């Protein structure tokens, strides 16, 4: 219920103004608050009832002591709180009580404010700690990123150094290779200067030919005939077995690199087995030299591309068995003396024998075409051996440290001696051989000797062939066509190289 002014005028009008700032307690009834509810909220309802009762009975007899019976659980009253009806001022009392309550509320508010400030301070400290941790993590992340970048930069630097080192090694290797080629070119140029037209020392060439001819005689006496002696009968049987194993290998050669590797490995193994006996070893070397020349005469004549695997096999045998050069070069010169530039007249039987002519079964000399083809096949294998580069595919050698047994300068010497021959000695076979030389190594001659190489090719295809134009040699005509195609900007064609496709042995 709402609070209404008391009937006691003293309680109603005695206070002239609001107490302790509570201006809601005005004279106007409409502005009065529900004081009962407020006091009840402040836990003063019992005391208010007591004061009101005291005001209603102010005419009663004097009460010496007043005790609040309605709040036994309240604060204990002492003797100073004993009041009389006459001197008790309820408004002052309530003002004091409200001030106390306000002070307590203020303390609670201050406590709350202090707690809030403490919470904010702790929150701020927590936030700062989190920021510190984030800053520390960010610092560590940045340091880790910088460390990673430094490691990557170091790895990159090491890789660049390694690549630079490899480039330097490759450049050094290239320089060595260029130096080697330069020296070979200088040697070839020196040979070319010495072999100017009409000035080639053919007496020295003949002496060279005669030396190889003597080698053939020595081989026949010291190897072939000696193996036929009765004391070597059992040894001859043993080398015969090895011969029958080796001989088919030459006919099995194709342009297949894997197959070539197998055949080379098998021949190398078979020959190595015979090295324990010097005569057997030398006999097998001589046999292989004859087999290679025979294969060149038959197979290469029909199929010039087959010169590549055969020449590579012969070159590899020269490397792994250095003694083989003695036998192979003797056979080359005996069958085709043009490989060293030697030529003599063929108007005598001795002359024809020197130039490698063969007699047929009826005793007559072989036909010119057959002779030209045979010598072209042999010269092709020789020229291809000169043009081949020793690489990692060769067995039993270090390609970088191995000296070429038949360098490209040998091919230069061969051709320069042919074109410098007196024209009365030049026959159709010279131009047939020169045509196969062109197919075999002309591109490598140009690569090795540059302008000097190109000059040799122009002399060969133009000047030399023009000098015998009236003789109508088919080999000269073909050589002239090859030169014209090249001089028009055509590419110098080469035989097909080895392939990686495997071919089973037949």
- The domain that contains 322 carries what CATH number? 1.25.40.510
* Residue listed under structure tokens 């480039």: 167
Residue 95, domain member (yes or no): no
Residue 110, domain member (yes or no): no
- Is 424 found in the same domain as 281? yes
Tens-place pLDDT, residues 130-139: 999 999 999 9
- Is 299 found in the same domain as 441? yes
Dist CA 142 CA 201 (whole Å)? 81
- Is 315 found in the same domain as 449? yes
Average pLDDT over residues 257-281: 95
Pick from 31-45, 351-365, 490-504 the range whose average pLDDT is largest. Answer: 351-365
Residue 458, domain member (yes or no): yes
Taking 60 as the threshold, does the pLDDT of residue 5 lie above it? no
Average pLDDT over residues 242-249: 94
* Residue listed under structure tokens 């020793």: 390
Residue 257, domain member (yes or no): yes
- Is 375 found in the same domain as 229? yes
Residue 156, domain member (yes or no): no
- Is 460 found in the same domain as 341? yes
CB 492 within 8 A of CB 447: no
CB 208 within 8 A of CB 340: yes
Residue 166, domain member (yes or no): no
Quote the number of domains for the chain: 2
Dist CA 404 CA 397 (whole Å)? 11
Tens-place pLDDT, residues 100-133: 888 888 888 888 888 888 898 899 999 999 999 9
- Is 273 found in the same domain as 389? yes
- Is 482 found in the same domain as 344? yes
- Is 345 found in the same domain as 477? yes
Structural domain including 326 reads: 195-356+368-487
For residue 13, the model assigns a pLDDT of 43
Measured CA to CA in angstroms, residue 25 lies from 2, 41, 51, 103, 292 at distances of 14, 17, 17, 20, 139
- Is 201 found in the same domain as 57? no
Tens-place pLDDT, residues 299-335: 998 999 999 999 999 999 999 999 999 999 999 999 9
Residue 17, domain member (yes or no): yes
Mean pLDDT for all residues in the chain: 83
The residues near 220 (Cβ < 8 Å, ≥ 6 apart) are none
Give the angle 63-66-68 at the CA atoms, nearest 5°. Answer: 150
The band of 422, judged by pLDDT with boundaries at 50, 70 and 90, is very high
Give the burial string for 448-467 (b: 16+ CB within 10 Å, else e).
Answer: bbeebbeebbebbbeebbee
The band of 28, judged by pLDDT with boundaries at 50, 70 and 90, is very low
pTM passes above 0.85: no
Residue 77, domain member (yes or no): yes
Tens-place pLDDT, residues 437-463: 999 999 999 999 999 999 999 999 999
The band of 245, judged by pLDDT with boundaries at 50, 70 and 90, is very high
* Of 176, 175, 174, 184, the residue nearest 450 (C-alpha): 184
Helix, strand or coil for residue 82?
coil
For residue 27, the model assigns a pLDDT of 42
Dist CA 284 CA 242 (whole Å)? 8
Dist CA 320 CA 397 (whole Å)? 7
For residue 172, the model assigns a pLDDT of 82
Percentage of residues of the chain with pLDDT beyond 70: 78
């Amino acid at each position: 219920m709402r609070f209404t002014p008391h009937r006691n005028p003293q309680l109603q009008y005695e206070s002239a103004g609001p107490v302790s700032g509570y201006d809601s307690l005005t004279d106007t009834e409409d502005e009065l608050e529900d004081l009962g509810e407020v006091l009840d909220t402040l836990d003063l309802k019992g005391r208010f009832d007591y004061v009101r009762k005291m005001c209603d009975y102010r005419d009663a007899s004097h009460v010496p002591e007043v005790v609040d019976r309605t709040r036994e659980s309240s604060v204990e009253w002492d003797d100073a709180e004993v009041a009389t009806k006459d001197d008790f001022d309820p408004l002052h009392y309530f003002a004091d009580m409200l001030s106390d309550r306000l002070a307590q509320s203020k303390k609670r508010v201050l406590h709350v404010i202090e707690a809030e400030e403490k919470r904010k301070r702790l929150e701020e400290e927590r936030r700062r700690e989190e920021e510190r941790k984030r800053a520390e993590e960010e610092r560590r992340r940045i340091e880790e990123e910088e460390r990673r970048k430094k490691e990557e930069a170091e790895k990159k630097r090491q890789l660049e150094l390694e690549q630079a080192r490899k480039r330097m090694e490759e450049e050094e290797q290239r320089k060595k290779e260029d130096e080697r080629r330069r020296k070979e070119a200088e040697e070839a140029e020196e040979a070319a200067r010495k072999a100017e037209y009409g000035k080639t020392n053919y007496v020295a060439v003949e002496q060279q030919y005669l030396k190889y001819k003597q080698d053939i005689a020595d081989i026949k006496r010291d190897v072939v005939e000696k193996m036929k002696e009765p004391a070597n009968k059992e040894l001859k049987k043993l080398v015969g077995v090895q011969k029958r194993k080796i001989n088919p290998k030459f006919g099995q050669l194709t342009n297949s690199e894997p197959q070539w590797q197998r055949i080379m490995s098998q021949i190398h193994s078979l020959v190595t087995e015979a090295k324990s006996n010097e005569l057997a070893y030398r006999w097998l070397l001589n046999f292989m030299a004859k087999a290679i020349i025979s294969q060149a005469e038959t197979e290469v004549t029909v199929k010039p591309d087959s010169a590549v695997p055969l020449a590579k096999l012969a070159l590899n045998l020269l490397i792994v068995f250095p003694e083989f050069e003695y036998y192979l070069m003797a056979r080359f010169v005996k069958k085709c003396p043009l490989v060293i530039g030697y030529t003599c007249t063929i108007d005598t039987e001795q002359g024809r024998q020197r130039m490698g002519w063969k007699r047929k079964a009826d005793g007559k000399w072989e036909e010119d075409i057959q002779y030209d083809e045979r010598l072209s096949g042999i010269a092709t294998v020789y020229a291809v051996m000169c043009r081949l580069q020793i690489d990692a595919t060769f067995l039993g050698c270090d390609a970088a440290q191995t000296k070429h047994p038949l360098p490209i300068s040998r091919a230069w010497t061969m051709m320069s001696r042919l074109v410098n021959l007196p024209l009365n000695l030049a026959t159709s076979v010279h131009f047939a051989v020169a045509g196969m030389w062109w197919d075999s190594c002309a591109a490598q001659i140009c690569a090795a000797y540059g302008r000097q190489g190109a000059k040799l090719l122009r002399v060969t295809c133009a000047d030399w062939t023009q000098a015998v134009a009236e003789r109508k040699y088919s080999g000269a005509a073909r050589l002239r066509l090859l030169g014209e195609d090249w001089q028009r900007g055509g590419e110098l064609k080469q035989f097909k190289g080895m392939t990686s496709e495997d071919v089973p042995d037949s």
